[in-house]
């Protein structure tokens, strides 16, 4: 048994699970009318309702004890203090410094990183203002109307999700596009409708060596030079964001258009850095700084609120409760806000790349489950597609519901209908429908006995399905910053309890290595190496049919 599963807090939770497991939330709500007050928290304009979870006060106490035992608060301070908590890469994880709005210094290896952070923010402001107000023109003197971010993973998903989420605040006549997939279709379909004279490319890559990004960047460069008939055009139409300034200059990017960040910023935590440049261009630097402000507000809460009143801590612990004691394998996220439609995809990387680990910080195999599968789609679409499985399937999928109180596009009754659906879903998942209730309905509908008995089992909803609800006033940059930082910290809390490193991602390496070996084989440059029979067969099939 691992230290964690042997520990007193874990053992106490195991014993407590057998008490909670048979209880139904419907009954718990009937027994305690104050559940909502007891199990909800407010932070600025954010409401976190976690009362529809399979918990009572004792559960929360024991989960908080688990966090205490894991010394979550100490680890949080280590992260904020710039300690090299990413042990396998010997790096700090200091995305919090990028959104530090205080005057407090943050040190990495004895150097205060805040002057550099502020300097790059200043450069981003100058550049984005220049593009937006038409000072920085294209090679032929025309104003930039389209920005194409070329990046993948952490250098794509964050800025893409935020640009989509903040579309309401975007400048008119400025469009943001994102090309990530090495499938040529992604680039070609994006460029189809663009005019080279008014297009700016941002090559976003921490390492500036990523195969997909460099391939797309090379093809975009060739497209631009061909369309404008001049190599010089690259100076005006290409910017880069990277930690590898040697490589950006080798690619021929004008040093004035290069924005730096640092190895203590992890890819999937980098939207707060210059990787957020497309956001600054799209919605303006003031809005980008409001986003940082929201992240900072959540950081302050995370650092200072007691564990049992701390939203990221409680969210993280609830996830552990379901993953490790109820055996839940998936966690769904349903934003009832069309602008947040890419939020689940963004969280997928954040959570699954961070906590999809099977050995602990010391390299020892874990004997408990870690990160869950994260997925989701915006409401109400999911209701007409896969919610069936949530309501009546055999699995328990704890879900987060996110919704704004006010719509940015209030028309007719749309928003009330949207929210009615959101609240109804969490209610339905929790209360379910008993056999008696279903029977009474069928009787009212006039069903005859035989038909009624045949249909009855299909009409029963077990309920008791856990959900969190996050309500916020309106989707603005500050709120979005809070939400993103909330999930980042939730993931961190879980990693601390699970004793895993959430900041590395060695799992992406093997596929990359093997692709490097297979590519020359597809080119036909080297004979097919000795793979397994399936891979050999696929390569041979490609050659025979290509």
Q: 151, 349 in Cβ contact below 8 A?
A: no
Indicate the residue among 324 and 351 with the shorter CB distance to ligand G6Q.
351
Indicate the residue among 208 and 339 with the shorter CB distance to ligand G6Q.
208
Contact between 266 and ligand G6Q (CB under 6 A)? Answer: yes
Least distance from C-beta 274 to ligand G6Q, angstroms? 11
Contact between 353 and ligand G6Q (CB under 6 A)? Answer: yes
Please give the torsion angle defined by the CA atoms of residues 545, 222, 246 and 240, in that order, rounded to the nearest 10 degrees.
Answer: -110
**Residue window 225-264: x/- pattern of binding to ligand G6Q, with contact defined by CB under 6 A:** ----------------------------------------
Residue nearest to ligand G6Q (CB): 153
DSSP states of 395-412: S---EEEEEESS-SS--T
CA distances from residue 358 to 159, 495, 517 in whole angstroms, order as listed: 29, 11, 26
Catalytic residue among 168, 250, 406, 512: 512
Least distance from C-beta 92 to ligand G6Q, angstroms? 15
Phi and psi at residue 215, to the nearest 5°: -65, -45
**Contact stretch for ligand G6Q (CB under 6 A) within 266-274, 298-306, 471-479, 491-499:** 266-274
CB burial string 460-475: b at 16+ within 10 A, e below? bbebbbbbbbbbbeeb
Q: Which residues, numbered 436-465, are part of the site for ligand G6Q (CB under 6 A)?
A: none
Catalytic site includes residue 512: yes
Angstrom distance (rounded) from CA 180 to CA 172: 24
Catalytic site includes residue 353: yes
| 473 Cβ contact partners less than 8 Å away, ≥ 6 residues apart | 45, 404, 405, 406, 479
Angstrom distance (rounded) from CA 484 to CA 349: 12
**Contact stretch for ligand G6Q (CB under 6 A) within 85-93, 146-154, 181-189, 334-342:** 146-154
Catalytic site includes residue 164: no
Indicate the residue among 205 and 248 with the shorter CB distance to ligand G6Q.
205
Q: Which residues, numbered 153-182, are part of the site for ligand G6Q (CB under 6 A)?
A: 153-155
Contact between 495 and ligand G6Q (CB under 6 A)? Answer: no
Angstrom distance (rounded) from CA 313 to CA 373: 19
Contact between 152 and ligand G6Q (CB under 6 A)? Answer: yes
Give the number of other Cβ atoms within 10 Å of residue 21's Cβ.
10
Indicate the residue among 240 and 430 with the shorter CB distance to ligand G6Q.
240
Indicate the residue among 106 and 152 with the shorter CB distance to ligand G6Q.
152
Q: Which residues, numbered 504-523, are part of the site for ligand G6Q (CB under 6 A)?
A: 505
Q: Which residues, numbered 197-216, are part of the site for ligand G6Q (CB under 6 A)?
A: 205-207, 210, 213
Least distance from C-beta 79 to ligand G6Q, angstroms? 16
Contact between 268 and ligand G6Q (CB under 6 A)? Answer: yes
Catalytic residue among 65, 353, 488, 521: 353
CA distances from residue 293 to 80, 270, 271 in whole angstroms, order as listed: 16, 15, 13
Please give the torsion angle defined by the CA atoms of residues 61, 62, 63 and 65, in that order, rounded to the nearest 10 degrees.
Answer: 90
Angstrom distance (rounded) from CA 296 to CA 478: 9
Phi and psi at residue 125, to the nearest 5°: -65, -45
Indicate the residue among 240 and 431 with the shorter CB distance to ligand G6Q.
240
Catalytic residue among 384, 450, 458, 546: 384
Question: Which of 159, 267, 295, 344 is in the footprint of ligand G6Q by CB under 6 A?
Answer: 267
Phi and psi at residue 99, to the nearest 5°: -115, 20
Active site residues: 353, 384, 512
Residue ranges binding ligand G6Q (CB under 6 A)? 152-155, 205-207, 210, 213, 266-268, 353, 505
């Amino acid at each position: 048994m691992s230290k964690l599963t042997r520990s007193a807090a874990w053992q106490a939770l195991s014993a407590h699970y057998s008490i909670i497991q048979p209880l139904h939330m419907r009954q718990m709500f009937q027994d305690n009318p104050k559940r909502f007050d007891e199990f909800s928290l407010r932070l600025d304009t954010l409401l976190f309702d976690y009362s529809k979870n399979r918990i009572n006060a004792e559960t929360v106490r024991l989960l908080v004890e688990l966090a205490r035992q894991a010394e979550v608060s100490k680890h949080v301070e280590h992260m904020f203090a710039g300690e090299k908590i990413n042990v396998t890469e010997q790096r700090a994880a200091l995305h919090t410094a990028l959104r530090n709005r205080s005057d407090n210094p943050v040190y990495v290896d004895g150097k205060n990183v805040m002057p550099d952070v502020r300097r790059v923010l200043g450069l981003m402001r100058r550049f984005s203002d220049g593009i937006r107000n038409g000072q920085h023109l294209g090679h032929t003197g025309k104003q930039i109307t389209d920005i194409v971010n070329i990046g993948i993973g952490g250098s794509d998903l964050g800025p893409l999700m935020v640009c989509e989420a903040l579309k309401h605040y975007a400048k008119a006549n400025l469009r943001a596009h994102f090309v990530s997939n090495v499938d040529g279709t992604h680039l070609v379909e994006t460029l189809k409708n663009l005019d080279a004279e008014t297009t700016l490319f941002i090559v976003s890559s921490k390492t500036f060596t990523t195969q997909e990004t460099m391939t797309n960047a090379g093809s975009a460069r060739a497209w631009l030079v061909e369309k404008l008939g001049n190599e010089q055009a690259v100076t005006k139409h290409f910017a880069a964001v990277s930690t590898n300034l040697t490589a950006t200059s080798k690619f021929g990017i004008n040093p004035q258009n290069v924005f730096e960040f640092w190895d203590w910023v992890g890819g999937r935590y980098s939207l707060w850095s210059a990787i957020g440049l497309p956001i600054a261009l799209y919605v303006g630097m003031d809005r980008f700084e409001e986003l940082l402000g929201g992240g900072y507000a959540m950081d302050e809460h995370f650092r200072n609120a007691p564990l049992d009143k701390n939203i990221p801590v409680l969210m993280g612990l609830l996830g552990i409760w379901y993953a490790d004691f109820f055996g839940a394998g998936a966690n769904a996220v349903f934003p009832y806000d069309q602008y947040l439609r890419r939020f689940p995809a963004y969280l997928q990387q954040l959570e699954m790349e961070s906590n999809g680990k099977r050995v602990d910080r010391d390299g020892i195999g874990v004997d408990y489950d870690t990160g869950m599968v994260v997925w989701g789609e915006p409401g109400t679409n999911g209701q007409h597609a896969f919610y069936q499985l949530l309501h009546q399937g055999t699995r328990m999928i704890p879900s987060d519901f996110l919704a704004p109180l006010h719509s940015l596009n209030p028309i007719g009754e749309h928003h009330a209908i949207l929210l009615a659906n959101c609240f109804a879903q969490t209610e339905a998942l929790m209360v379910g429908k008993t056999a008696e209730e279903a029977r009474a309905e069928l009787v009212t509908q006039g069903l005859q006995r035989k038909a009624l008995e045949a249909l009855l089992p299909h009409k029963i909803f077990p309920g008791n399905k856990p959900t969190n609800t996050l309500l916020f006033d309106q989707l603005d940059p500050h709120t979005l910053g809070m939400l993103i930082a909330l999930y980042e910290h939730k993931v961190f809390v879980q990693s601390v309890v699970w004793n895993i490193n959430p900041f590395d991602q060695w799992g992406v390496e093997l596929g990359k290595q093997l692709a490097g070996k297979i590519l020359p084989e597809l080119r036909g440059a080297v004979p097919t190496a000795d793979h397994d029979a399936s891979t050999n067969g696929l390569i041979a099939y490609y050659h025979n049919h290509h």
